[in-house]
Structure formats: structure tokens, C-alpha cells
Amino acid sequence: MATRLLIAEDEPSILESLVFILGREGYDIATARDGDDALSQLRTAPATDLLILDIMLPRRNGFEVLKAVRAEPALSGLPVLMLTAKGQARDRQMAEQMGADAFIAKPFSNQDVVRAVRGLAAP
């Protein structure tokens, strides 16, 4: 069974590129356009191996999603890769404290994304 990723990103073009490059690597990919959507998918869908999470999400931002994930026993061990559009130290620090496993700063190189995702979840 292929490794399953959930990508939460509200920018359609960025989401499309991520789906393309990671799909090419053989991952099974689900997408969410906002924070609430991402959380409900995590709770209902079969086991997800990695969450790729944008910070600037509508309804519920990345931090809130991360906090909820870490608070839920069933999900607390889920690896999380944060996409930080701002790339600011403050956001990164905050995400680190809340238990994010890795970070990718936008604009990213595709290679870096693939490498980071592989580090957290082999395809």
C-alpha cells in the first residue's frame, strides 16, 4: 500500500505543483483547501503517513491545525511538514515548539520538497 500524504494548501497553483511532483514519486495524495477540511480528513480517512501543512489557511490556520493534531491521541504521532510562506524566524520557532517535524520555506525548490517528504515518509 502506497504511503499516504495529506496536503493542506489553499493556493490552487501551489497545490497543483505539489500534487504533481509528489504524485510522480509514487505517493498516494489527498488534498485539503482549508484547515477544517484537513482536520476532518485526518479524522475520517484511513491512516495518513504525513501531513504537509501550509500556515496561511482559511478558516483554521496551520498552527491551529497542528495544535489540534498534536492534542488528539490518535493523530499525535503524525509527522508534519510545514510550508512557511513567510519564512520568518518567528513562525518557524512557533511551529517547532508546537511539534512540527520539518519546514519548507516558500518559494521552494521541488528537489527540497521531495527530499524533505522522503525523510519523513518513504514512498
Partner 1 sequence: MTPAVEFALVAALGYVALLFAVAYWGDRRARIGRTGWLRSPLVYTLSISIYCTSWTFYGAVGSAARSGLEFATIYLGPTLVFVGWWVLLRKLVRIGRTQRITSIADLISSRFGKSEALGALVTLIAVAAATPYIALQLKAVTISYQVIAGVPLDHADFRAGFWVAVAMAAFTILFGTRNVDANERHHGVVAAIALEALVKLFALLAVGAFVVFGLFDGPGALFATAPPGFLQAEEVFGPRWVTLVGLSAAAILCLPRQFQVIVVENEDERHVATASWLFPAYLFLSSLFTLPIAVAGMTLLPSGADPDMYVLTLPLMADAEALALFVFLGGFSSATSMIIVSSIALSTMVSNHIVAPLALRLARERARTSGDVRRLLLTSRRIAIATLILLGFLYFRVSGASDALAAIGLIAFVGVAQFLPSLLGGLYWPQANRRGALWGLTAGFLMWMYTLGLPSLEDGGPLGADTLLHGPFGIALLRPQALFGLDGLDPLVHATFWSLAANALLFIAGSLSREPHPLEWLQARQFVDVFRGGADVGARERTRVQRIATSEELFILAQRILGAEPAQDLFDAFARRQGISAGLPMPTEDLIGDLERRLAGSVGAASARAMMAQVAGGEEVSFDELVSIADETARIMRYSQALERKSDELETAARQLREANAQLREIDRQKDDFLSQVSHEVRTPMTAIRSFSEILRTSPDLDSTQARRFVNIIHDESIRLTRLLDVILDLRVVERGEIPITLEPVDPDAVLDVALETCEGLRGEAPVRVVCGTRAGGARVEADPDRLRQVFINLLSNAVRHNDKDAVEITVKSRVRDGRYEAVIGDNGPGVPAEHRDRVFSIFSATWTKGGHKGAGLGLAISRGIMRRMGGDLTLDAGRPGQGARFRVTLPTTTEEPPP
Shortest Å distance, C-beta 57 to partner 1: 9
Residues in the site for partner 1, rule: CB under 8 A? 10-11, 13-14, 16-18, 20-21, 24, 34, 56, 58, 85-88, 106-111
Which residues have a Cβ under 8 Å from the Cβ of 28 and sit 6 or more positions away? 1, 2, 3, 4, 5
Q: Which is nearer to partner 1, 68 or 85 (CB)?
A: 85
User: Could you give the angle at the alpha carbon of 87 between the alpha carbons of 81 and 31, nearest 5°?
Assistant: 35
Shortest Å distance, C-beta 100 to partner 1: 18
Q: Which is nearer to partner 1, 16 or 96 (CB)?
A: 16
Q: Which is nearer to partner 1, 44 or 109 (CB)?
A: 109
Shortest Å distance, C-beta 85 to partner 1: 5
The x, y and z cell numbers of residue 40, run together, are 476532518
Answer for the pair 10, 33: CB distance below 8 angstroms, yes or no.
yes
